[in-house]
């Protein structure tokens, strides 16, 4: 009887240990997925801001007042999203937060200047003008800051990976 009882206790302990380990593993995977999604959302906010020089160039000429309001309201929301993600990334990781802050600073300097120039230029008036060449809007200088942010995110996520997945 004692052997059966001790065998049952041992089996219960092993089962409980495995269940606890699996629950912790699932929790870590969910946390890593949540963080990955949040970092991707931060990059999406950056990307939305980055597209604004093109949107301003392509604004409708027939309703300039409405277009100013529409574009400025969209830009206001995106700037609020970037501000949120600046705080969130810094709270999650100092390294990722610094990379995102650098990315946002470079974005505001480069795309902000391109937006300024786009508002000064007349809106497009033909289908041929839909393609905006790099001579008019050149955001290629943002690439190093983008790469630095993505690298920081990858390093942070790698630190969160379990030992057997490294």
Residue that is written with structure tokens 């490294």 in the block: 166
Predicted pLDDT of residue 151: 97
Q: Tell me how far apart the alpha carbons of residues 42 and 37 are, in angstroms, rounded to a whole number.
A: 9
Q: Tell me how far apart the alpha carbons of residues 29 and 8 are, in angstroms, rounded to a whole number.
A: 31
Contacts of 150 (CB under 8 A, 6+ apart): 43
Q: Specify the DSSP class assigned to residue 130.
A: G
- Of residues 74, 71, 97, the one with CA closest to residue 84: 97
Predicted pLDDT of residue 56: 96
pLDDT single digits (tens) 108-121: 999 999 999 999 99
pLDDT single digits (tens) 68-85: 999 999 999 999 999 999
Check whether 5 has a pLDDT greater than 70: no
pLDDT single digits (tens) 128-146: 888 888 888 999 999 999 9
Q: Tell me how far apart the alpha carbons of residues 26 and 21 are, in angstroms, rounded to a whole number.
A: 9
Q: Quickly count: other Cβ atoms within 10 Å of residue 22's Cβ.
A: 10
Check whether 165 has a pLDDT greater than 70: no
Predicted pLDDT of residue 60: 92
Q: Tell me how far apart the alpha carbons of residues 58 and 121 are, in angstroms, rounded to a whole number.
A: 10
Helix (H) or strand (E) run with residue 127 in it = none
Q: Considering Cα of 127, then 130, then 131, then 136, what sign does the dihedral take?
A: positive
Give alpha helix (H) positions in the chain: 2-50, 52-57, 64-92, 94-120, 143-160
Contacts of 21 (CB under 8 A, 6+ apart): none
Section 88-100 average pLDDT: 96
Structure token digits, residue 158: 């790698």
Residue that is written with structure tokens 């009882």 in the block: 5
């Amino acid at each position: 009887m004692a052997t059966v009882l001790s065998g049952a206790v041992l089996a219960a302990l092993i089962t409980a240990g495995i269940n606890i380990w699996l629950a912790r593993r699932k929790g870590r995977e969910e946390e890593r997925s949540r963080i990955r999604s949040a970092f991707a959302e931060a990059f999406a906010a950056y990307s939305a801001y980055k597209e604004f020089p093109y949107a301003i160039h392509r604004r409708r000429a027939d309703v300039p007042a409405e277009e100013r309001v529409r574009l400025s309201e969209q830009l206001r929301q995106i700037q609020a999203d970037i501000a949120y993600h600046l705080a969130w990334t810094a709270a999650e990781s100092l390294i990722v937060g610094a990379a995102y802050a650098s990315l946002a600073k470079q974005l505001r300097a480069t795309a902000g200047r391109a937006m300024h120039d786009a508002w000064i230029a007349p809106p497009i008036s033909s289908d041929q003008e839909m393609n905006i060449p790099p001579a008019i809007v050149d955001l290629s200088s943002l690439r190093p800051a983008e790469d630095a942010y993505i690298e920081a995110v990858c390093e942070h996520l790698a630190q969160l990976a379990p030992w057997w997945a490294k």
